[in-house]
Structures are given as structure tokens and as C-alpha cells.
């Protein structure tokens, strides 16, 4: 048995997971159109690689990765490119981004796939395939995996951690994936291990998913260790899971690889396997649709599927008003339910007044300290709140504001119902704005100083020239007088 | 609104209500051993506190009902009522409570913003202003020469009238702590003092049962996670340690540690006064420091000071240190531990 470690605090919100695990993963019918954003990952958006009117095949690249941090985008099915333009995407602000709209032709005709054997290939080649296959972290951060799978020359990655904790309430997409496709996840993990030269692979799964644990254990064999970790939110945060499994604490602003650990979501391992061993790029993902619906469940949804299409399949109940993307602790309110499913979409929760009642009016902080007791980053949320509220941002930074992972535990336990995380987000954005302002004012100051220097230099030079000229004239006059 | 979209079903009112409930056993013990006067004091203090709270909220343009319902004013009133002699004159109770709520709570910004424990400020004001009335404690009924019924208590508290031919001395006595101090000054041996009728098995007669009731209430609060263990444990342990040391060094002039734990406001202080979150530190280490300091100060004031007990002043003195304690006891954050 592996020795497990603790992190401070954590909470036990009601799980609401059983509702959506009754059925196996469902295959939804093809929607009428797919709207595929070209920016579904951290880094630079992909560059459009198709033209309006063009027929595309399933798995054909429609967006090319550009720049160091980027990932390709692919057509999820065969059809015609209807439009390329800006459409609202899944973002709390209702942001619009460049999307390729495809009308599926129903044939689902695939571009030829070319599987490779990863164990006899140059790792750099494999990473290029992953980048070109659009493999990104499916746990929510959507960071291009190829970059994380490059161990670098100096640092040794000892441990590869696969994250199957899925600690947020309501979400069950990783649970079902592990139950049904454990073999592929394990094979993906072996490829990742090969790329990183990792000594050990540990899969962490919260103990509220016994079926997934059993399936993974059976698939894992002896080389990969499957560990049941205690169910405690946010135990599925990468840093928290690394701490629980290895005892290592990754400080804010540092990379886990520097400490010899790399962490990936189980669904990412699955897509690594599909991309390398089957030659299939990422064109779909498992999405949990739950909340105020009659028929909650998990769908293997094509990227670009309008969310209201999936919600419709789950039959929303009366009193539905809007939806969340992600979990209720760290997810966000969708400005519109018609935005497309992207690689980051792990869960869609249909809201109702009953499931998510408006929070009571906040009362003053009574310094009870429950927030500090629940904080997995060992912060003092009551002090941060005080500083953020007072606009004392320097002090907030001194109290490690930027170590806050915005997990929401403090707000969850606050008996005064103070929206603490909002205060921290506000303080962070104010600090960023101040830094930007400082940077631009620094530039302006340098310019200004340069300008003053230049005008003075010009004045000086002009005076010197004049003086010279005058001296010359005087000398001339003197010469004339003398002659 | 942004995430999180869930919150635990708890509230400030719920916390205050549980603290009030935890005090009921001690109030019952008080009434059982010392008569019904304490109930009158609590009622009067509660009414005063709610009226002054409502008035102050109105003056400060704050919503009256939600803040009145938070229960904090009521808790201040109960703590003050249990800290002063149970049969004090009505105006003394009203003055103390009004000062606690209006001055030491609302003038500092109301709930959550007061640096000093309001009930203890109320107590300090009263003991400095009305030392005579504040030391007229009721004797345990089993010891007193006479008993007062509810009507007679009301007569005395509101009109200063005692039943015909009765002397106040017949129903009052100095507290066990006070008696010990004055008798020691008169060079009486400690064994003889502690065998006086007002003393019980560990502390004062009746008073030791109230201490037990506060302990029970405090354990309930711990179990409910309203309070954490640091403050009560550090406070009681430091009183135990320092009184034990003095007792070992000179047992002829210093009562033992158990006497100090069972007497005066040790137990109510440990579980109900020093645990006030608003005026105490928030870090675990800070709580230990704060309560240890309060325990030592309590003992020193009790033993060498002029006041009958030291908990109130010890609390206020340690309240001053809270910002400093908090600033210097910040726990290391995740990933930055040594």
C-alpha cells in the first residue's frame, strides 16, 4: 500500500454524481451543424486551413498549430464548410472567437488514419504528432500536451501522475471513461511514460468511484499503480493530487516537472493513445450533461456540437434557467447555452432555482476562521478578503494572494456567505491592471526622458554651432580688420 | 455571479444560537444554586441589548432586522449578565449592556469590527464605576441565611427594597476568589479558609457546578466545530501550570490548580469569552499564544491585583495584541513549508 499524504482543509459538497452514471456513455446523433472554435487550448489560436465551401473529411485538419504553444484543430465528421467567422464561444464574458462552421453530410467519411508504433520512434516525432492531432489537457486547463511531455535535458521526471480523481460535484465524464475504456487509458499512459522516461506511473482516483478503480486496476497490470484517494474536494486539483500521492508540494509559480512529477488527466491519456496508436486526432470528448434534466448522462460529443443540442437530448425539466460549464465549485455561468462544446467542456449543468438558489445576503466577516481551515493552499482567506476589500493590494500579495487556486472552499464554508473568491479575482485583476499600467507608464517615462534629453542635446548642439559660427564670423571680421 | 455556486447551509445566526444554547446548562446551574435573580438579569440585559442594537443600526443606516436576528447582541448580553453579580440594580445592568453594544461594538463598526470583547468592556466599565454593587454576589442558597423569591428579587433590583428586617448581608457574600484573597491578607492559613462554608469540593459551592456546566457547554461547541481546541486548552493549561507552580512553591499562600480552574470565570472564559472569533486571533499558533497570555494574566490579576477576578482584564489586554499576534503567526502557505 502506498502511503498517502494530506493537504490542508478541503470540503465535502453534495456530490450529485449518481444521477449521471446510470447509463453507459451515449452516442448522440449528428447535429445539424458543428461550430468549431480555432482557439480551444492555452496558447496561440490555430490558423484556418480550409476554405468556405470546401468538403472536409472526419479527422481532417481545419486549423494548423502556429507558434510554440499551440495545437491543431480537426473536422469532427465529414461535411461542407459553411462559414468561417466570429461566433460566441464558451467563455464567461460571452466572448466571440474565430470558428469554422461545418454542415455534416451524414456519411462520417474519415481521412486516412496512419497509426505509428511509439516505442520505436524518435520522441520528438511523437510530440509533433500529438501537436498535430490536437492533443491537449482534457481536465479543464487544455494546455497542449506535447509541451508537457517534453522532459527537457536537465530535469528528470520520476513520477507520472494520472488524474482520475474528478473531485468536483456533478462531473462523471472521467468516471465513465475509466469504467469503459481503461485499457486505452493505460496504453496512453505507457506512451506518456515512454516520452517522459518516468520511473513510475500512479493513477489517483477518488474512492467514490469503485467501478472505475476496479476497471483501471484490472487494465493496469503490475507496471502502473492505481491508488484510491480519499474523496475530498479539491483533491483532483493537480497540486493537491500530487501532494496526496507523492507528498510533494508544488509551490505557486513553479512547475511540477522541476520537482520530478508530471500530471495528466486520464482523458488526455486516452486521446494520446488514440492519436498515436490509432492515428485519430481529437474530434470528440466525453461530456456530462446533468442538473435540472430528466435524463442526465454522459455523451461522446463531437467538438463543435451546440450545447443546447446535448441538453435537449437529456430533456431539461421545468424551471431550467441557464447552465454552467464545468463543476459548480470552479465552473462558470454560460452566457448562452447555444455555444459549442470545446475540448475543455467536461460537464454541462443545467441550473434551476432549486439546485442553485441565490446566495443569502452577505453578513460581515466574524473572523471565525472556517475559510482558513478549509483552504487547500494554506492561505488566510479572511485576511486576503480584508485587504482586497480595502484595496490594499500590496498587502494582499504579501499574504500570497497569487497562491490562491480559486477552488471556492472558503466561499463554500463561509457562514456569512461572503463571495470571497470574487474578491480575490477582483484583487488579482486590479493588480494585473496596475502592473500593465506601470509597464506602459515606464515606457512612457523612458520615452519622455529620451525626448527631453534629445531636445536638450539639440539645443546644446545648436548653441555650439551658433557659437562656432559666431567665433568664425568674429575671426573673419578680425582678419578683415587686420588686412 | 461567478463560482462557486454552492454554499454550506450555515449562518452567523446559527453559530450564535448554538453558543447561546451551550450556555443554558450553566444558567440553569446558576438559578439552581443562587436563586432566580440571574434569570431577571439575563432578561433585562437581553432587552437592553436588542433595543440598543436596533437603535444603533437605525442611526448607522444599516438594515435592522437581519442584524438583530444574527444573535450577536443577545450573546453579548448573556455573557455580560453572567459575568456580573446576579442581583445587581437594574440601572447597572442597563448601563453595562448599553455601553457594551453602543460604544464597544457599534462605534467601532458593528458586528465583526470591534477589537475588544464587548461584554468584557461592559464588565470593565461597571467594575471601575460601581465597585460596591459589582462585588455584592449572592451567596449559595445552601449557605445564605435567607432566600429571596422572584418578587423579592425584582423589588430589590428595581426599587432597592429588601423584605422587612432583612439585611443585604443575609443573602450576599464575597466570591470564593475574593474571600481567599482577603482572608490570605489576614494571614489565615489556606486550609482553614477553604473549609469555610462557601467553598465546595474544588471551587466555590455552586460555582464549581457552574464551571462544570460551562465545560459541558464548551465541549458541545467543540463537537459542533463552533470553536477550536486551541483557545480553551491553552487557557486552562496555562492557568493550571502557573497556579500549580505557585502552589508547589508556596502551598501555604496559594490555592491549588484545580481550585483556579473551578473558580471565577475560568471556564466561561475558556469556552465562551476568549473564543470570541471577532476579537481573537485566527491562526492556530496565534490562538495558543493569545490564550496562554490570557491564562497567565488572569492568574496574576487574581492573585496580585485589586479585582475579584482577572479574566475580563486579561481578555481585554490580550485583545490589544491580536493584530500583532496574527501578523507574526501566519502559517506557511502550500509549497513553501520548510
Q: Average the pLDDT over each of A21-35, A363-377, B167-181 and give the range with the smallest value.
A: B167-181
Q: Do B5 and A356 touch (CB under 8 A)?
A: yes
- Contacts of residue A373 in chain B, CB cutoff 8 Å? 228
Q: Do A361 and B66 touch (CB under 8 A)?
A: yes
Q: Do A329 and B283 touch (CB under 8 A)?
A: no
Summarised one tens digit per residue, pLDDT across range A159-178 is 999 999 999 999 999 999 99
CA–CA gap between residue B119 and residue B77 (Å, rounded) = 7
CA–CA gap between residue B255 and residue B242 (Å, rounded) = 11
What pLDDT sits at residue A418? 96
Q: Which residues 453-472 on chain A approach chain B with CB closer than 8 angstroms?
A: none
Boundaries of every domain in chain A: 114-284, 363-482
* CB-CB contact of A116 with A273 (8 Å): no
Preferred mutation among B278, B335, B336, B338 to probe A, highest tally of A CBs within 10 A:
B335
What pLDDT sits at residue B188? 87
Q: Which residues 255-314 on chain A approach chain B with CB closer than 8 angstroms?
A: none
Residue with cell 480550409: A50
Q: Is the pLDDT of residue A77 over 90?
A: yes
For A260, list phi and psi in degrees, rounded to 5.
Answer: 90, 20
3-state secondary structure of B173: strand
Q: Is the pLDDT of residue A297 over 80?
A: yes
Question: Rounded to the nearest 5 degrees, what angle is found at the Cα of A415, between the Cα atoms of A240 and A372?
Answer: 35
Provide the CATH topology of domain A114-284. Answer: Rossmann fold (3.40.50)
Q: Do B333 and A7 touch (CB under 8 A)?
A: no
Query: Nearest CA of chain B to the CA of A243: how many Å?
Result: 9
SS3 sequence of chain A: CCCCCCCCCCECCCCCCHHHHCCCCECCCCCCCEEEECCCCCCECCEECCCCCCEECECCEEEECCCCCECCEECCCCEEEEEEEEEECCCCCCCEEEEEEEEECCCCCECCCCCCCHHHCCHHHHHHHHHHCCCECCCCCCCEHHHHCCCCCCCCCCEEEEECCCCCCCCCHHHHHHHHCHHHHHHHHHHHHHHHCCCEEEEEEECCCHHHHHHHHHHHCCCEEEEEECCCECCCCHHHHHHHHHCCCCCCCCCHHHHCEEEEEHHHHHHHHHHHHCCCCCCEEEEEEEECECCCEEEEEECCCEHHHHHHHCCECCCEEEEEECCCCCCEECCCCCCECCCCCCEEEEEECCCCCCCCCCCCCCCCCHHHHHCCCCCCHHHHHHHHHHCCHHHHHHCCHHHCCCCCHHHHHCCCCCCHHHHHHHHHHHHHHHHHHHHHHHHHHHHHHHHHHHHHHHHHHHHHHHHHHHHHHHHHHHHHHHC
Closest chain A residue to B333, measured at CA: A378
**A308-337 average pLDDT score:** 94
What pLDDT sits at residue B229? 97
Q: Which residues 158-197 on chain A approach chain B with CB closer than 8 angstroms?
A: 169
- Structural class in CATH, domain A363-482: mainly alpha
Is the Cα torsion angle B107, B113, B118, B124 positive or negative in sign?
A: negative
What pLDDT sits at residue B338? 63
Q: Do B334 and A419 touch (CB under 8 A)?
A: no
Q: Is the pLDDT of residue A424 over 70?
A: yes
Q: Do B5 and A328 touch (CB under 8 A)?
A: yes
Give this prediction's pTM. Answer: 0.89
* CB-CB contact of A377 with B333 (8 Å): yes
What pLDDT sits at residue A17? 96
- Contacts of residue A328 in chain B, CB cutoff 8 Å? 3-6
What pLDDT sits at residue B203? 85
What pLDDT sits at residue A212? 97
Query: Nearest CA of chain A to the CA of B82: how many Å?
Result: 23
What pLDDT sits at residue B295? 97
* pLDDT per residue as tens, chain B (338 positions): 788 999 998 999 999 999 999 999 999 999 999 999 999 999 999 999 999 999 999 999 999 999 999 999 999 999 999 999 998 999 999 999 999 999 999 999 999 999 999 999 999 999 999 999 998 888 888 888 888 889 999 999 999 888 888 888 888 888 888 888 888 888 888 888 888 888 888 888 889 999 999 999 999 999 999 999 999 999 999 999 999 999 999 988 899 999 999 998 999 999 999 999 999 999 999 999 999 999 999 999 999 988 888 999 999 999 999 999 999 999 999 998 76
Q: What is the mean pLDDT of chain A?
A: 94
Q: Do A378 and B282 touch (CB under 8 A)?
A: no
Amino acid at each position: 500500500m502506498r502511503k498517502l499524504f494530506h493537504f490542508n482543509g478541503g470540503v465535502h459538497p453534495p456530490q450529485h454524481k449518481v444521477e449521471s452514471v446510470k447509463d453507459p456513455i451515449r452516442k448522440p446523433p449528428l447535429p445539424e451543424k458543428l461550430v468549431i472554435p480555432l482557439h480551444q487550448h492555452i496558447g496561440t489560436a490555430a490558423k484556418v486551413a480550409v476554405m468556405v465551401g470546401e468538403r472536409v473529411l472526419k479527422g481532417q485538419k481545419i486549423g494548423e498549430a502556429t507558434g510554440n504553444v499551440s495545437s491543431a484543430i480537426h473536422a469532427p465528421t465529414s461535411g461542407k464548410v459553411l462559414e468561417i467567422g466570429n461566433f460566441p464561444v464558451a467563455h464567461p464574458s460571452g466572448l466571440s472567437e474565430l470558428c469554422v462552421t461545418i454542415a455534416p453530410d451524414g456519411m462520417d467519411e474519415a481521412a486516412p488514419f496512419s497509426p505509428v508504433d511509439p516505442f520505436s520512434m524518435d520522441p520528438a516525432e511523437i510530440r509533433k504528432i500529438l501537436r498535430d492531432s490536437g492533443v491537449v489537457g482534457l481536465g479543464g486547463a487544455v494546455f497542449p500536451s506535447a509541451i508537457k511531455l517534453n522532459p527537457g535535458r536537465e530535469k528528470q521526471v520520476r513520477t507520472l501522475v494520472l488524474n482520475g480523481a474528478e473531485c468536483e460535484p456533478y462531473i462523471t465524464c472521467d468516471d465513465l471513461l475509466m469504467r469503459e475504456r481503461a485499457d486505452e487509458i493505460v496504453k496512453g499512459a505507457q506512451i506518456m511514460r515512454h516520452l517522459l522516461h518516468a520511473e513510475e506511473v500512479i493513477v489517483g482516483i477518488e474512492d467514490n468511484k469503485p467501478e472505475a478503480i476496479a476497471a483501471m486496476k484490472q487494465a493496469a497490470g503490475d507496471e502502473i499503480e492505481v491508488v484510491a484517494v480519499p474523496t475530498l474536494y479539491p483533491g483532483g486539483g493537480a497540486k493537491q493530487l500530487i501532494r496526496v500521492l507523492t507528498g510533494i508540494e508544488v509551490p505557486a509559480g513553479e512547475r511540477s516537472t522541476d520537482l520530478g512529477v508530471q500530471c495528466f488527466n486520464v482523458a488526455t491519456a486516452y486521446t494520446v493513445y488514440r492519436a498515436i496508436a490509432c492515428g485519430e486526432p481529437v474530434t470528440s470528448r466525453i461530456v456530462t450533461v446533468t442538473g435540472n434534466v430528466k435524463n442526465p448522462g454522459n455523451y461522446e460529443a463531437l467538438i463543435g456540437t451546440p450545447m443546447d443540442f446535448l441538453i435537449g437530448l437529456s430533456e431539461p425539466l421545468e424551471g431550467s434557467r441557464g447552465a454552467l460549464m464545468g463543476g459548480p465549485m470552479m465552473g462558470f455561468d454560460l452566457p448562452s447555452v447555444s455555444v459549442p462544446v470545446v475540448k475543455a467542456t467536461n460537464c454541462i449543468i443545467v441550473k434551476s432555482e432549486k439546485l442553485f438558489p441565490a446566495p443569502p445576503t452577505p453578513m460581515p466577516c466574524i473572523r471565525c476562521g472556517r475559510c482558513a481551515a478549509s483552504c487547500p493552499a494554506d492561505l488566510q482567506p479572511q485576511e486576503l478578503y480584508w485587504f482586497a476589500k480595502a484595496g490594499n493590494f500590496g498587502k494582499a500579495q504579501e499574504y500570497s494572494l497569487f497562491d490562491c487556486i480559486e477552488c471556492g472552499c472558503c466561499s463554500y464554508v463561509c457562514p456569512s456567505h461572503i463571495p470571497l473568491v470574487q474578491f480575490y479575482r477582483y484583487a488579482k485583476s486590479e493588480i494585473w491592471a496596475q502592473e500593465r499600467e506601470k509597464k506602459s507608464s515606464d515606457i512612457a517615462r523612458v520615452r519622455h526622458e529620451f525626448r527631453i534629453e534629445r531636445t536638450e542635446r539639440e539645443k546644446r548642439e545648436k548653441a555650439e554651432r551658433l557659437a562656432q559660427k559666431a567665433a568664425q564670423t568674429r575671426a573673419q571680421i578680425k582678419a578683415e580688420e587686420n588686412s | 455571479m461567478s463560482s462557486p455556486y454552492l454554499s454550506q447551509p450555515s449562518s452567523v445566526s446559527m453559530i450564535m444560537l448554538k453558543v447561546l444554547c451551550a450556555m443554558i446548562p450553566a444558567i440553569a446551574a446558576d438559578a439552581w444554586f443562587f436563586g432566580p435573580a440571574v434569570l431577571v438579569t439575563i432578561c433585562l440585559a437581553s432587552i437592553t441589548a436588542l433595543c440598543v442594537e436596533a437603535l444603533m443600526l437605525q442611526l448607522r443606516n444599516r438594515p435592522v432586522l437581519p442584524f438583530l436576528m444574527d444573535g450577536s447582541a443577545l450573546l453579548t448580553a448573556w455573557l455580560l449578565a453572567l459575568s456580573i453579580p446576579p442581583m445587581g440594580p437594574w440601572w447597572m445592568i442597563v448601563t453595562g449592556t448599553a455601553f457594551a453594544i453602543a460604544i464597544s461594538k457599534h462605534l467601532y463598526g458593528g458586528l465583526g469590527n470591534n477589537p475588544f470583547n464587548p461584554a468584557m468592556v461592559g464588565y470593565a466599565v461597571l467594575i471601575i464605576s460601581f465597585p460596591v454593587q459589582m462585588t455584592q454576589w449572592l451567596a449559595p442558597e445552601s449557605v445564605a441565611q435567607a432566600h429571596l423569591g422572584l418578587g423579592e428579587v425584582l423589588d430589590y433590583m428595581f426599587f432597592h427594597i429588601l423584605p422587612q428586617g432583612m439585611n443585604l448581608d443575609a443573602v450576599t457574600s464575597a466570591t470564593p476568589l475574593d474571600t481567599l484573597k482577603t482572608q490570605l491578607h489576614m494571614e489565615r492559613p489556606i486550609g482553614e479558609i477553604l473549609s469555610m462554608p462557601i467553598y465546595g469540593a474544588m471551587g466555590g459551592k455552586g460555582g464549581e457546578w457552574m464551571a462544570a456546566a460551562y465545560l459541558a457547554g464548551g465541549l458541545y461547541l467543540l463537537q459542533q466545530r463552533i470553536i477550536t481546541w486551541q483557545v480553551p486548552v491553552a487557557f486552562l493549561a496555562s492557568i493550571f501550570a502557573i497556579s500549580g507552580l505557585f502552589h508547589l512553591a508556596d502551598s501555604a499562600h496559594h490555592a491549588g490548580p484545580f481550585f483556579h480552574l473551578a473558580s471565577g470565570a475560568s471556564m466561561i472564559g475558556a469556552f465562551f469569552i476568549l473564543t470570541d472569533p471577532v476579537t481573537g486571533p485566527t491562526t492556530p499558533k496565534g490562538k495558543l499564544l493569545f490564550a496562554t497570555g490570557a491564562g497567565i494574566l488572569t492568574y496574576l490579576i487574581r492573585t496580585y491585583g485589586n479585582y475579584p477576578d482577572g479574566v475580563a482584564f486579561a481578555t481585554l489586554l490580550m485583545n490589544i495584541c491580536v493584530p500583532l499576534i496574527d501578523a507574526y503567526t501566519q502559517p506557511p502557505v502550500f509549497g513553501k513549508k520548510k
